[in-house]
A = this chain, B = another copy of it.
Amino acid sequence: MNVTIWNENLHEQKSEKVRELHPKGIHGTIAAILEEEGHVCTLATLDMEEHGLTEEVLANTDVLLWWGHIGHRLVSDEIVERVYNRVQEGMGLIVLHSGHHSKIFKKLMGTTCNLKWRHGARERIWTIKPSHPIAAGVEDGFLLECEEMYGEAFDIPNPEDVIFMGWFNGGEVFRSGCTWTRGNGKIFYFQPGHETDSAYKNPNVRQIIKNTVKWACPTVRGAIPVMKFEPLEK
């Protein structure tokens, strides 16, 4: 299985705190989680040519993880289209945290993906569908001492499964882990992962990231075709 991790890699350039938390960038932090499972991840960032997502890289990617925030508008429409097409063909896509407002996620959802937000909250995440493969080995509930608050109403299409729900100490709730299919591609959105917080050190979050890649790996290759079709019956 080939995993590619995309990160805009912008906060890392601006903030000492982010560099301390993510000495190899947020993409490096995520890669380290997946390396524990034996994955050798391709890393791609905004500043690379074609954002690191060339035709060749994407053609060889089974699952793409996406971390973006302040650079959403800087992602070229052509590359977004390319990722979109690969999702239709079966590539899995894991959208992390502030990626809810990325061009690619909004394009796949067909909604605004709006929500309420605030920096700095205590979050409790609850596993509401423990039988889902993405929840394997994840606790019934767990605490993130500091995370960005994302609150409902979250403007997404009805998910196929809501696996995790978030509670925030300011009084808000959120569908924190949700799945969809688009074309032949499996999509998972996962809310934790703010750049200045340490969600990716949490063992439950790490387990979820690992599970997610396994779950999203395609079993088919190629998009559902349009075709003129001769009758099979007279």
Measured CB to CB, the residues of A under 8 A from B are 88, 90, 101, 107-112, 114-118, 121, 124, 126-131, 133, 135-137, 140-141, 143, 149, 151-155, 157-158, 160-162, 165-173, 175, 180-186, 218-220, 223-233
Contacts and interface: CB of A to CB of B under 8 A. Distances in A.
A116 B124 CA distance: 15
A110 B107 contact: yes
Given A117-B229, A161-B158, A229-B118, A126 B182 contact: no
A128 B88 CA distance: 14
B186 A220 contact: no
Contact of A180 (B157, B165, B184): B157
A223 B162 CA distance: 18
| Integer count of this chain's copies in the complex | 4
B136 A153 contact: no
Given A131-B90, A167-B172, A224 B153 contact: yes
Nearest to A150: B229
A130 B220 contact: yes
A47 B107 CA distance: 28
B220 A155 contact: no
24 contacts: A88-B111, A108-B110, A110-B110, A110-B182, A112-B183, A114-B224, A114-B225, A116-B227, A116-B228, A116-B229, A118-B231, A124-B173, A126-B151, A130-B153, A130-B184, A130-B224, A135-B220, A137-B219, A153-B224, A155-B183, A157-B157, A158-B161, A162-B162, A167-B171
Contact of A171 (B154, B185, B231): B231
Contacts of A121: 231
Nearest to A116: B229
